[in-house]
Structure 1
Amino acid sequence: MKKEIHPEYTDATITCACGEVFETKTTTGDMKVEICSNCHPFYTGKQKTSAKGGRIARFKEKYGIGE
């Protein structure tokens, strides 16, 4: 590897708005994020499902297929 062209890879602390703190390594340093895997609705199971449905669901409903 060439010297003096690669960024320094150091320890970093990632802090979420919910208060969760993660320790990792990065080239950018400490970071603050708005949402993490601890508070994101997809990972916590609190995600709202869409009642609209997709194109296939609408087609099946319209033509009564697959009931």
Structure 2
Amino acid sequence: MKKDIHPKYEAAVFSCACGNVVKTRSTAGDIKFDICAKCHPFYTGRQKLVDSAGMVDRYVKKYGDADSRKGGKNS
């Protein structure tokens, strides 16, 4: 087997912006990230629902319905 071809597998710290820290081992070293399962809205139950129906209504109000345009469909 060849020597010195594998990356070094050392202790690493994964740090989240919320302050959550996970100590493990990695070849990448210390890593900082923005969001983790401890602070992500899906996992914490603090989800924000997007009102997509309201967005469609605003679009139709602004630009009108495609069928109501002059000439109707396929014009």
Q: So what's the TM-score if we normalise by structure 2?
A: 0.59
Provide the residue aligned with 2:22 in structure 1: 22
Identity of aligned residues (%): 55
SS of match in other structure, 1:39: coil
Structure 1 runs, 4 residues or longer, greater than 2 Å off: 48-53
Could you list the per-position Cα deviations for residues 5-59 of structure 1 after superposition, in whole angstroms to 9, with x for gaps in the alignment?
1111111111111111111111010111111111011111112345548xxxxxx
Output the CA distance in 2 between the equivalents of 1:8 and 1:21.
22
Q: Which structure carries more helix by proportion?
A: 2
In the comparison of the two structures, how many residue pairs are matched?
53
What code does the residue aligned with 1:16 have? Answer: C
Q: So what's the TM-score if we normalise by structure 1?
A: 0.65
Higher relative contact order (CA 8 A, sep 6+): 1
SS of match in other structure, 2:14: strand
The root-mean-square deviation of aligned C-alpha atoms, in Å, is 1.7
Return 5+ residue gaps in structure 1 as ranges.
54-67
Output the CA distance in 1 between the equivalents of 2:34 and 2:9.
24
